[in-house]
Structure 1
Amino acid sequence: MGKGLFLSKVVAAACVVAAIGAAATIIALSVVYAQEKSKNEMTPQSTANPTISPTISPTTTTGPTTPSTPKEPWQRYRLPKSLAPVSYNVTLWPRLERNADNLFVFTGHSTVVFRCVTETDLLLIHSNKLNLTSFDGYLVKLRGLNGEAAPGLKATWLVKPTQYLVVQLHSPLQAGSTYELFTEFVGELADDLGGFYRSEYVEDGVTKVVATTQMQPTDARKAFPCFDEPAMKAVFHMTLIHPHGTVALSNSMNYGKFFSHIRIWARKKAIEEGQGAYALEKTGSILAFFENYYNSSYPLTKSDQIALPDFSAGAMENWGLITYRETALLYNPAVSSNGDKEWVATVISHELAHMWFGNLVTTRWWNDLWLNEGFATYVSYLGADFAEPKWNMKDLIVQNEIIGVMSVDALASSHPLSSKEEDVLTPEHISELFDSITYSKAVEKADITLPHSIEVIMNRWILQMGFPVVTINTQTGEINQKHFLLDPESVVDRPSEFNDWLVANIDTKGFYRVNYDSDNWERLLAKLSSRHVDIPVINRAQLIDDAFNLARAKMVDTTLALRTTKFLDKEVEYMPWETARRNLNYFYLMFDRSEVYGPMQAYVNKQVTPLFNHFQNITGNWTNIPENHTDQYNQVNAISMACSTGVKGCEQLTTGWFKEWQDNPHINKISPNLRYTVYCSAIAAGGVKEWDFAWSMFKNATIATEADKLMSALSCTKQPWLLNRYLDYCLMPGNIRKQDATSTIISIAGNPIGQPLAWAFVRAKWDYIFNNYGGGSFSFGGLISGLTRRFSSEFEYQQLLQFKEDNAGQLGSATTSLEQALERTKANMKWVAVNKQQVFDWFKSEAPTN
C-alpha cells in the first residue's frame, strides 16, 4: 500500500453516527426496532397467502352512493378491526379455453371462517372484479359456528372505489364468536398480469395456457372475497379443479402426492434443455445459508419455484411456491451471460430470504414495506455470495444498489423509508412504495458501540428522507454534515491535520457522501493520476460517484468531477469504470443533442481505447472469456463504450460477429456476455435488414434471456420509421408481451432518436396504455421516469405540466414518478444553464487534437 491515510475506525464511526445515526446493520436493528415500535408490530406465523388467485370482470351490483368524504366505513380504504379471519376454504376452477363470449373465465366458491373481535352489525370484506352469485337477493350466506346463531342479512352490495363487499346485518355479530361467510363467483382469467390471470406460450406450434397468480400487494381480492391486508393472516385450504394432463401447484404439498423437497418448474422444453439446473443447484445451498443465518429451520415441507412466460414483477415470494419471470429463474450456459447468471442467483436469494422474513413474520401494513424488501435485498447478496464465493458479491452491493438509490434519495421529492399508516391507503399509493428507496436503501454493519436507543437510531434512519454529505477539512480536522440535495435550491417539505491524501467511508460502508477541502481533492486527483491502485477499488468508484453528485449539488466544480475520470486510461477494474459510465451517462442525456457531444465523444474515446485494447489482449483477440466475474462485466463496458464512441476496430468487430450469425442463423457464436452489446452495435450501424433479422430471431427465441437481449437491442436502430413501428408493436401483445411493453418503450426512449418518438407515442396513447396495461402496476412509474430522463428545457417542462393536467386522476402508480420527473427537469434546466459552457470547454481541452 502506497503512502496515504485511510480514516481511522474511530473517526469513521463518528462520521457514520453524525451522518445517519444508524450505524448498526439493518438486519439486527429492523427486528428489534419492529418489536419496540408498536406501529411496526410484526404479525406471527399462520399460513402463506394462496398461490391461486383470480382476476375478474366488474360486477353490476350497486349499493348506496358514496359521498365525497369518507364518513361510512365502506368508504375508507382500511378494514375495521372488528373481524379477524381464521381460515379459508377456497375452490377455483379456471377454464383454459375460451367460452362462447370469447373469454377465458374461472368459477369458484369460498368459505371464510372469521372471529368477531368487537361487536358489529357491519361486515366488510375485499372483493374486486368478481361477479358474485345472488342467494335470495343477497351476495353471501352467513352462518354461525359452535352453536352461535348468525344474525339476519339486511343488505349486501359492492363498493368499487374501495373494493369492498359490504354486508349489513339486522343485529350485531357477538364479540368472541366465530362465523363463516360463503360466496360464489365468476371471474375473467384475463391477461392483465394481476390476481388470478392467464399466461400463454407456444410450444411445437400449439398454444398453451397457464393459470397463475400475482397477488401482491392488493390483488388477492380479485381471486376470491377475502380480508386482503397483510396482517390478516389465516390458514388456507385450496382446491383447484383442472383438466387431465395439466399440473396444479400450491403453497403446500399437493394432497396425496409425495415429491422431492426442492423442485423447479418451467415450460417442458426449458426443463428438458436443463435451464432449471442452475437454480436447482443453488437453491439448496442458499436455503442452507439462510437456515444458519436466521438460526431457524426452513419453515415449510417443500420449495417450489416456477418460471412463467408472463409475469409483471421479477419474482414473487409466495410461501413455498415462488413465481418468477423466466429471466430470473432459468439459465442456459450456452446462451445466458454471466450477468444473467448473477441475476438468477440474487433473485433466488432475495425470494428465499422472504420465506422467513416477510412470510414467517410479516409487517402489519405497507407503510413499513422497506422492512421487508430492503432487508431481503441486503441479505440476497449474502446468500448469493455464499452460493458463488468467487463473485465478490458483497462489494457489488455498492455498485448495484447504493450508488443507484442515492441518485433518487437526493431529490426533494424522495420519501422516508417509513410513512404513517394513514398516508398509505389506496392500492395506487401502496404500489408507489415498490421503488428503489424501499428496496435498495440499506447499510452494512459498522463495528462501533451505539450511543442511543434502537428507536432513536432507527427513527433517524427510516423517518427522515434523504441522506447527508459529510465534509472533511483535512487542514483543520473539522467534520460537518448536512442534507445532500442534487438541487440545493429545492425546498424539502417533508481529528488532526494531514499533509497527504485522505479517503473516508472506506469501502462505502456508510450511506452518505463525502466531500473534502480543495487541497485534499487535489491530492486525491494526483494520487489517482500517479498510482491509483493505492486507493481501494471501491473507493476509487466512490470518489468518482461522490464528485459527480457533489458537482450536481453545486458543492464542487463540475470540472473537478470530470477530472476524476482522467485516470481511467490506466484503470482496468470494473467498479470505477461502471461508476464513471453511469455518471457520464447524465452528460450524454443532457448534451447528446448539442455541440458538447462531439468533444465529449472524443474524450471518452481516448479514455476507453486502452481498456478496449486491454481486453483484446487478455482474451487472445476476443477468443476467450475473462476468468474474473467483474472482468467479464468490464469487457462488456469496454466494447460498448468503444463502439459507441468510434474506437478504431470496434464496429467492424461487432458487425462482423453479427453478420456471421446472419449468414448462419442456426449457429450463434457470439459470447453470451457480449450479445446485447453486439446486437445493439450492429443494429445501430445497420438498417432494416439487420433489424428484421433480429426481430425474427426475437420472435423465434426459446430462451427468455436471449429474447430480452434482442428485444432491448432492437431499440438501438437509428432509423426513426423502424422505431415508430417498434412502438406500435409494444401495444400488440402478440408481438410484445404485456409484461415487456413498458420496458421496451423505455428502451426506445433511451435512444436519443427514439426519445421524442416514444414521448409523443405515450402521450397519444396514454388512455389506452393506462386502462389496458395496468395503471396501478409497479412498472408504470418507471415508464414516466424513462421517458423524461433527457428533459432539460422549459418547453419540455411545460409539456410535462400539460401531461399532468390532461391526465389528472388517471396517473395511478405513476403519480410520484411524475412529480419526480418535474423536479428532475427543473434541476436539469438549471444545471445545463450553469454548466454547458464550462463542460464544452473542458472536453475540448482534454479531447485529442486530431
Structure 2
Amino acid sequence: MPSKSGLSKAFAAAFVVLTVSVICATVTMVILYQVQMKGINPTPRPTAPNTAEPPPPVLRLPRSLIPDHYDLVLQPQLYTRIIHEVNVTSPNQTLVFNGTSTVHFRCVQKTSSIFMHSRDLEVFGPVLNDTDTKKSMRSKVKVPDEESGFLELELDQNLEVGGNYSLRLDFRGQISQNLDALFLSEYQEKPTEGEDSGTDRCLAATNLQPTDARRLFPCFDEPDMKATFNVKIIHRRDTTALFNTKKTVSNLENEDWKYTCFETTPKMSTYLFAFTVSEFTSEASHTTGKRVTIRTFARPEATEAKHTSYASQITPKILEFYERRFGIDYQLGELDQIALPDLYPAAMENWGLVTYQEGLLLYEEGVSSLLHKEDVAGIIAHELAHQWFGNLVTMKWWNNVWLNEGFATYMSHFAVDAVEPMFRMKETSIMKNLHAAFEEDALASSHPLIPPRDDIHTSDEIIGLFDSISYNKGSLMLRMLADVVGESVFNEGINNYLEKFKFSNTDQNDLWSSIETVRRNQYGLSVEQLMTPWVSQSGFPVVTINTTNGEVFQKQFLYNNTAESRLSWNVPIWVMSYISEPSLVWLEATLETVAKEEFIAKDGEWILANVNSTGYYRVNYNLENWQLLLKVLETNRHLIPLMNRGQLIDDAFNLARAKLIDVTLALNSTLFLRNEREFLPWESAVTNLHYFVLMFDRSEVYGPMQEYLRNQVEGLYNFYRNYTNNSTVPEDHSEQHNQVNAIWMACSNGLPECVEMAKMKFAEWMQPNGTNNIHPNLRSVIYCQAVAAGGKAEWEFAWDQYLSSNVTSEKDQLREALSCTRKTWLLNRYLEYTLDLDKIRLMDVASTIDSIASNPAGQALAWNFIRAHWDYIKEGDTPFLIEGVTSRFSTQFELDELERFAADYDLGSADGAAQRALEQTRVNIEWVKDNKDVVLQWFEAQTAAGNKY
C-alpha cells in the first residue's frame, strides 16, 4: 500500500484483522451460489407472460422488473486529514464505506427471483415489500456472481405482473485506490511558512461509467434501466458533499459526522450517478438571469489563486450556447464541476456534477500555456454537450455509445467556436479527429461504429468501445450527414430527436427517423440508406478517380492492401476544379467502375474531390492529376482550400502506406512546405512524417531524413524566430500552434540555432536564483529539447521543478519533458518512478510510459517494463499505452514478442488494442521491406541539392 495513503504498518495489520472479520461475517450470512449458465434460454421480452429465467450467457438483466426510484444513504468512512504525529501508532484512516439502498420497481413479467447487479459488495438484510398491499415478502440473498456481476434474491412467492414493490438492502464495500467506482484521491496542501512540505489531504469521488455503479450500491446497472434517485450522504463534519443535484438540507449528526440530503434527480442511468466528499472550495458563476448556478470546485489554494476563473467564466457561455442550439433548457438549477487531483478518464459527464482531471479544468494566468485554454474550453464543451447527448437522451445499450461520444465531440467544436472564435477550433479539431479515426479504421481489426448488440456483453468489451472510432469517427459521421442533408435540416432533426426522446433511451434508427422527418420531400437515398453502411461496417473507402476519362470506383482502404474486402458505401463527393465551383456527386454502393462527367479534367486542369474534407474517405487520382495538384501546391497553393492542403498530404502518405501510390509521390507532397506558413498543412506533414521517423530512426535512413527536414523547416523556424528568441508568441492561435511545430521540427532534427536557443533558455532558468522566462506556450517543447540536449544536471533540475510545482499544467509539461533525455539510465530510473505513487500519480502512469516509449532511446526499455509490471500498469489507459509502446515495431523479432504478449497476458479491455498492434506490426514489416531503399534514395537526392549542417 503506498506510503502516501497515510496507512502505517500497524494500521495495515489492524486492517487485515478487520478484513478477515468481515469475510467471516459474510460467510455466515450468505449461501454459496453460482449462476448456472448451461441450458438457459435467451432473456424473454418484458411483456412475455411466462416466468422470467435467470440472466442468460449474454450477461444482460431480464426485463421482468423495471426500476422507478432509489432511496440511498451512503457513508464513506474516509478521513480527509491524516495524522502524522510522534507516538501515534495508527493513523485515523479507513477505506470502508457503507450504505442502505431502497429500490422501488414494477413487475412486468412474473418471476420468483430478483436479479440485480452487485460487485465487490457485502450485501445483507433484504426487506422486500409489496407497496400496493403494504405486505412484506420473504427474500434471501445469494452470493453475488463476481464474474457476471449479478446478485440474485430468492423469493418465497412470485412477483406478479402489474405489481409495485420495494427492496431495501444494506451493503458495505471498500473505497478503491485504483480510480474506479468510489475511489480515494490524495493531494498535499500548500505548505505554510516554515514547513518543508504540505499536509496530506484525502477526498472520495466516484467514477461509475460504464459498469461500476454496481460496485457502489446494488442496482439495475444498465443504461436503459433509468430511474430517479434520492440521496443522503453522511460525511465528516469538516467536509463538503456534492451530488448530481442541489442540496436540500445539511445538518450535524454528532460531533464527528453530518449529513447532506439532495433534491431528487431527473430520471437517469446509473452510470451517471456521482458524488464527492472533500474539503474543496468553489468559485460561482451564473447563466443569464441566474437561472443556473455554476460552481467550479478545486483545492482551496487553487480557487484562492483564481485558477478556476477561466473555467468559471466560459462554462455559463457554453451552457447557454447549447440551450439556444437545442431549444431545451439545462434540466437542473445547479451545475457543479470539480477539478480532481486523480481521475481516469480525463473527465466524466455526470449529470449536474461533472468531474475533471485537475490539469484539464484549471488555468493559471502567466504559467499555463495560452494554448491550454483550448484544452480547457474543449473538454468543458464536450462534457456539457453530454448533458443533452447521453444524460437527457441515452443510448439503449453500449453498442451505441457513439450516440453519446460522437455527438459530444461533434457539438463541442461549435460551442468553442461560439465562445472563443479566436481559437479556430472547428477546423483544427476536425482534421485531428479525421486523421486519428482514419489511423485506427484502416486496420482490419477495427470495429463498426455500431457493433452488433450481442457482441458487447462484458465490462471489458464495453470499455473497449471508448476509442477513436466512437469519438472521432462518430463525430465525422454526423458532420458528413449534416453536409449532405444541410445544416438547417440536420439541426432541426437533432432538436426534434432530443425533444421526443428526453429522459428515455434510443438507438441509431431513432436518430435517422428524426432527421428524415424534417427532410420531408427529399428524393434519393433516405438517411437510413445513406448511413447504415457507414455505421454497421468497419473501415471506410478510398475513392479512386481517373480524370482523363471520369472513371471512378471505391474499395475499402486498408494498410494491408492484400486483404480481401467486398464492403462498399454510398459516398457523397464534393468535387471542384480550377474552373468550377464545388458540386455534389454520388458514388453508389457498388464495386463496379462507373464514369462521371464531373470527374473529367478539361483542358489539362486539375480535379479536387472531397472539398473541405466533409466526407469520411480518402481520395486517390491518376498520376497526371496528382502531379498537377502537387504543382499547384508549389506554385499557387491558395487555390487549394486550406483543409485540403492538409488532407492531400495525409491522403498521399497513407495511400503510400497502403501501397496504392509510390512512396516518392507522398514525399513530394512535402516539397511545398518550404514556403507554407499555415498550421494545418504543417500539422498534417508533422503527423505523417512521424510514421517515417518511427520506421527509420534506428536505420541509415534517419540521417538524410533529418537533413531534409532541417532544410524544409528552416524557413518556418526563421518566420517565428524573433518571437521565439524574445519569448513571445503571435496573437493568432493557429500561428501559436505553428510556432511550436516549427521549434519541434527544427530542434528535433538538429537545426543548430534551435538547439542552442533551447539550451540557453533552460540554462538561464537553472542558474542560482534564476527565473523561468520561457513563454508558457513554448515551455513544453523547449523543456523537452533542453533535456534531450543535456545530461544528468538538466534532468534532475527538471525533476526537482516537477516535484515542487503545484500547477498541474506545468507539472504535466515537465513530466513529459523528463522522457526526452537520451540517457538510457535516466529513462530506466524514470520508469521505476512510475511504480511509486509518491512520484507519479496512477492516472499519469500510462502517459508517462508512453512518452518514454516515444523516445528511441526508451522504446525497448518501456516495452520490457510494461511486461514486467503488467499487473500494476493495467489499471491505467492500457489500450493507449499498448498502441504507443509498439508503434515502432517493424521486425519479425518484435512481432514474435508481441504475439507472445497477446497470448500470455490478461489484457482485459486492451485486447483489441493488442490485436490492432499485431496487425500494424505485420504491415510495418512489409512496408519497411518494400520501401526502405526507395525512401533512402529520395532523401539522399533531396539533401544532395540542399544545404548541409
| Residue 94 of structure 1, aligned match among 76, 85, 88 | 76
- Residues 518-552 of structure 1, C-alpha deviations (whole Å, 9 max, x = no match): 11111111111212222222111011000001111
Q: Deviations over 1:611-630 (max 9, x none)?
A: 1101114x284342111111
Does residue 482 in structure 1 map to residue 555 in structure 2?
yes
Note if 1:315 corresponds to 2:347: yes
Which of 730, 733, 737 is residue 626 of structure 1 equivalent to?
730
Relative to structure 1, the CA distance from residue 122 to residue 620 in structure 2 (aligned partners, 3 Å threshold; closer, same or farther) is: closer
- For residue 65 of structure 2, what is the amino acid of its counterpart? L
In structure 1, runs of 5+ residues without a counterpart are 1-55
Gaps of 5+ in 2: 1-19, 41-52, 83-89, 192-197, 251-261, 263-283, 287-292, 486-521, 568-596
- 1:463 aligned partner, one-letter code: S
Q: Does the CA contact (< 8 Å) of 1:74 and 1:159 recur in 2? A: no
**Contact kept in structure 2, 1:792 and 1:832, CA below 8 Å:** yes
* 2:448 maps to 1:457: no
State whether structure 2 residue 185 is matched by structure 1 residue 199. Answer: yes
Q: Which has the higher contact order (CA 8 A, sep 6+)?
A: 1
TM-fit CA distance, 1:849 = 6.0
Aligned equivalents of 1:67, 1:93: Cα separation in 2: 34
In the alignment, is the contact (CA less than 8 A) between 2:123 and 2:141 conserved in 1?
no
Cα 1:557–1:268, aligned 2, differ >3 Å: closer, same or farther? same
Structure 2 residue 111 is matched with structure 1 residue 120: yes
* 1:305 alignment counterpart: 337
**Measured at CA, do residues 299 and 666 of structure 1 come closer, stay the same or move farther in structure 2, by a change above 3 Å?**
farther
* Aligned equivalent of 1:63, options 15, 29, 32: 32
Q: In the alignment, is residue 366 of structure 1 matched against residue 398 of structure 2? A: yes
Tell me the residue number matched to 1:839.
935
Q: CA deviation at 1:580?
A: 0.3
Cα separation, 1, equivalents of 2:804 and 2:174:
29
Cα distance, 1:104–1:634 mapped onto 2, change above 3 Å? same
Q: Does 1:209 align with 2:230?
A: no
Alignment of 1:225-374 (within 5 A): 225-256=218-249, 261-374=293-406
Question: Residue 381 of structure 2: SS of its match in structure 1?
Answer: helix
Whether 1:647 aligns to 2:790 is no
1:666-686 deviation digits (Å, cap 9, x = unpaired) = 732111111110111011111
CA distance in 2, matches of 1:184, 1:469: 57
Instruction: Indicate whether 1:166 and 2:135 are aligned.
Output: no
8 Å Cα contact 1:150/1:179 also seen in 2? no
Residues 325-378 of structure 1: per-residue CA shift (max 9 Å, x gap): 112211112111133110111110011111111101111110000111001100
Say which SS state the counterpart of residue 241 (structure 2) adopts: coil
| Deviation per residue, 1:162-192 (Å, 9 max, x gap) | 1121111122111111111112122111221
SS in 2 for 1:419: coil
- Structure 1 residues 100 and 395: alpha-carbon distance in aligned structure 2, compared to 1, 3 A threshold: closer
Q: 1:335 to 1:115 in 2, by over 3 A?
A: same
Matches within 5 A, 1:378-527: 378-441=410-473, 442-443=476-477, 444=479, 445-447=482-484, 451-491=524-564, 495=597, 496-498=600-602, 499-527=604-632
SS in 2 for 1:168: strand
- Rounded Cα–Cα distance in structure 1 between residues aligned with 2:62 and 2:769: 61
Q: Structure 2 residue aligned with 1:573, among 673, 678, 688?
A: 678
Change (3 A) 1:415 1:648: same
* Compared CA separation, residues 668 and 162, structure 1 to 2 (3 A): same
Kept in 1, the 8 Å contact 2:144–2:151? The answer is: yes
CA 1:62–1:207 in 2, change beyond 3 Å: closer, same or farther?
A: farther
Matched, 1:73 2:64: no
Among 683, 691, 694, the alignment partner of 1:586 is 691
Aligned residue number for residue 802 of structure 1? 900
Aligned to 2:131: 145
Letter of the 2:930 counterpart: V
User: What does residue 104 of structure 1 align with?
Assistant: 95
Paired AA for residue 490 in structure 1: A
Aligned to 1:82: 64
Q: 1:513 is matched by which residue type in structure 2? A: R
Q: What corresponds to 1:548 in structure 2?
A: 653
Offset at residue 256 of structure 1 (A) = 3.8
The match for 2:668 is 563
Deviation at 1:588, TM superposition (A): 0.5
**Residues 665 and 264 from structure 1, CA distance in 2 versus in 1: closer, same or farther, beyond 3 angstroms?**
farther
CA contact (8 A) 1:141 1:182 kept: yes
Tell me by how many angstroms 1:805 deviates: 2.0
How far apart are 1:483 and its partner, in Å? 1.1
Q: Work out the CA distance in 1 between the residues paired with 2:239 and 2:298.
A: 13
SS at match of 2:218: coil
State the shift of 1:665 in Å. 6.1
- Aligned mate of 1:660, from 764, 782, 794: 764
Task: State how far apart, in whole Å, the 2-side matches of 1:811 and 1:174 are.
Answer: 43
Partner in structure 2 of residue 818 of structure 1: 914
Is 1:707 the equivalent of 2:811? yes
Distance 1:552 1:314, change over 3 A: same
SS at match of 2:763: helix
Residue deviations 1:750-808 (CA, integer Å, cap 9, x gap): 111101001011111223433xx26xxxx22111111100001111110011112221x
Residue 614 (structure 1) aligned to one of 694, 705, 719: 719
> Does the residue aligned with 1:112 lie in a helix, a strand or coil?
strand
What is the identity, as a one-letter code, of the residue corresponding to 1:249?
L
Q: Secondary structure at the match of 1:335?
A: coil
- Pick from 204, 207, 221 the counterpart of residue 214 of structure 2: 221
Contact 1:85-1:115 within 8 A present in 2 as well? yes
Counterpart residue number, 2:924 = 828
Give the letter aligned to residue 643 of structure 1: C
Deviation at residue 491 of structure 1 after TM alignment: 4.4
Q: Give 1:65's aligned amino acid.
A: Q
Equivalent residue number for residue 769 of structure 1: 873
Query: How far did 1:67 drift?
Result: 5.4
Question: Do 1:405 and 1:437's aligned partners in 2 also have CA atoms closer than 8 Å?
Answer: yes
Output the aligned Cα RMSD.
2.1
Return the offset for 1:447.
Answer: 4.9
Secondary structure at the aligned position of 2:248 is classed as: coil
Output one character per residue of 1:565-596: Cα deviation in whole Å (capped at 9) or x when no partner: 01111011111111000100000000000010
In 1, distance between residues paired with 2:769 and 2:358?
Answer: 23
> Equivalent residue of 1:649, what SS?
helix
Q: Percent identity?
A: 46
Residues 728 and 775 in structure 2, CA contact (< 8 A), matched pair in contact too: no
Say yes or no: does 1:673 pair with 2:777: yes
Which piece of structure 1 moves more, 209-218 or 531-540? 531-540
Amino acid at match of 2:241: A
Q: Deviations over 1:483-511 (max 9, x none)?
A: 11111113469924321122221111111
Amino acid at match of 2:316: G
Q: Is the 8 A contact 1:315 1:351 kept in 2?
A: yes
Structure 1 distance, partners of 2:210, 2:893, is 37
